[in-house]
Amino acid sequence: MSSGASTADAPRRQAARSPAPETCKTSDQTTYQLSDADLRSAAIPTQMTNSPAPPATADPQQPRRPLHHSPQPGLEADVQPAARLLATDMSVLDEWKRLADEVDGSPFHRPDWFRTWWRAFGTGTPELVTARRGGRLVAVMPVARHHTGRVASLSNWHSFVFGPLATDAEAADELVAALLRRPHAQLELSHLDPDDVERMVRLGGQHRHRIRTTRVQRSPYVPQGTTVEEYLDRREPRRVRQLERNRAKLHAAGTVSFAVHGKHDDLEWALAELFRVEGMGWKGESGTAIVSHPDTERFYRDTARWAADAGLLRIPLLQLDGRVIAGEICVENGQSHFSLKAGHDPNYRQFTPGLIVQLDMIRATLDAGKSYEFLGAGESYKKRWADHAHDINRVQLFPPTLPGHASYLANLGGRAARKGLHVGRDTVTAAVGKARALRRSPT
């Protein structure tokens, strides 16, 4: 989501194809391969691959494409240590916030999201990749460098999207190119939208990287610009009628109130009630509730606090006779409403209170001209209330170096071993041997 815009139906731009070698199909996964000439020049043996390939000129009569991205005039990119990412006095944070406001970046691209995420889940050494035009920050993205040489995104299953926050495509390209030029054995960025996948594949190909893409999940949403009437017309009538009957039964059972909280004056109470109902039932029993893990609870509590400061927090709570029976914790920007977590009291499941809250928030979101993002995978209950889904992807890039080759073989062997293939053990053994040889090498 490079410019901070919604990921709605972003079409993936197809790369030009070179003659493809023998292919090996894998579910929701594509391995991009350079031309044979490029591989020979990089001294990397050809591997089986799926088409399409990244941009390459296979015809010897045509001029060869540049092997590296050409910097845009006036753009300067840099990768700097960010051990002080948690510090409030890190000067670039103010610039980062101004950039996020300028492009209406999603909450998942803002510095406070990453600072909160890092405190709860971060490992390795953080680095900050930036691009400037005339001294002004125009693109930024944090990553983590690990001792194995792997450079990874600051994302996990609590994230929705990850990628460069940038004013324009040229700035995002320059930022990614700077990251690719830095030494690494593997670059792994997860939770990318299709536009950022295309960028990584294109620029990774120019830098002679082996590239593997995997779809992480398909996340349902209701698109921006949909009216409430259009939305309800596309739902199953029987489900809408049943939900309204349950709402009537709920009102007949007692005094019902519904309010959306987002200010500091009642934030701690709203969070306590939301965490209580979210942890009831199967989530608490399976250990997946927010309160099941201290790091997760701290992450959502801190996220709520900075989002409240920024005016982005929404906590809708449904009460019956003064008792909270359902709620969500959500964040917003100018384009979209993101439902991070939701829960309900199973003692009132006959009223389907969670669905009542969800439908009321969808109505309010569409009336405000925004998209409603369910987040997470496309479970069947979400698909009943959404007709569209975002492809959320992971991209792994392996450079044409000995560490990159060893990392690629280790990754390939691990995948093969997980599938129960006999070749997995031999491939991993070869990769380990290669890695040991590299460690003994004076260079």
* Contact in structure between 42 and 208 (CB atoms under 8 Å): yes
Q: pLDDT higher for 109 or 60?
A: 109
Residue spans per domain, the chain: 29-217+392-400, 225-369
Mean pLDDT calculated for residue range 24-47: 39
Determine phi and psi for 383, rounding to 5 degrees: -65, -25
From 54-58, 299-303, 393-397, 410-414, the region with the lowest mean pLDDT: 54-58
pLDDT band at 91 (very low <50, low <70, confident <90, very high): confident
For domain 225-369, is the CATH number 3.40.630.30?
yes
Q: Is the pLDDT of residue 87 over 60?
A: no
* pLDDT score, position 281: 82
pLDDT band at 142 (very low <50, low <70, confident <90, very high): very high
* pLDDT score, position 428: 60
* Contact in structure between 410 and 251 (CB atoms under 8 Å): no
- CATH number for the domain running over 29-217+392-400: 3.40.630.30
- Structure tokens of 368? 């405000």
* pLDDT score, position 77: 76
Q: Is the pLDDT of residue 396 over 80?
A: yes
Give the contacts of 419 (CB within 8 A, at least 6 positions apart). none
Mean pLDDT calculated for residue range 306-320: 96
Q: Where are the beta strands (DSSP E) in 273-382?
A: 313-320, 323-332, 336-344, 371-373
* pLDDT score, position 68: 47
Buried residues in 225-254 as b, exposed as e (16+ CB within 10 A):
ebeeeebeeebeeeeeeebeebbeebeeee
Rounded Cα distance between 235 and 128, Å, is: 44
Place of tokens 């004076």: 442
Query: Residue 112 is which amino acid?
Result: D
* Contact in structure between 217 and 193 (CB atoms under 8 Å): no
pLDDT digits (tens, 9 = 90+) for 402-443: 999 998 888 887 666 666 655 555 566 666 666 665 555 554
* Contact in structure between 150 and 188 (CB atoms under 8 Å): yes
- Structure tokens of 384? 């009943």
Give the contacts of 437 (CB within 8 A, at least 6 positions apart). none
pLDDT band at 58 (very low <50, low <70, confident <90, very high): very low
- Counting residues of the chain whose pLDDT is more than 70, the rounded percentage is 74
Q: How many residues are present in the chain?
A: 443
* pLDDT score, position 412: 80
Rounded Cα distance between 140 and 308, Å, is: 23
From 62-66, 152-156, 164-168, 386-390, the region with the lowest mean pLDDT: 62-66
- Counting residues of the chain whose pLDDT is more than 90, the rounded percentage is 65
Mean pLDDT calculated for residue range 302-328: 97
From 87-96, 227-236, 285-294, 429-438, the region with the lowest mean pLDDT: 429-438
The CA-to-CA distance between both ends of the chain, in Å, stands at: 38
Q: Is the pLDDT of residue 321 over 90?
A: yes
Rounded Cα distance between 279 and 352, Å, is: 17
* pLDDT score, position 443: 44
From 239-243, 376-380, 382-386, the region with the lowest mean pLDDT: 376-380
Q: pLDDT higher for 79 or 272?
A: 272
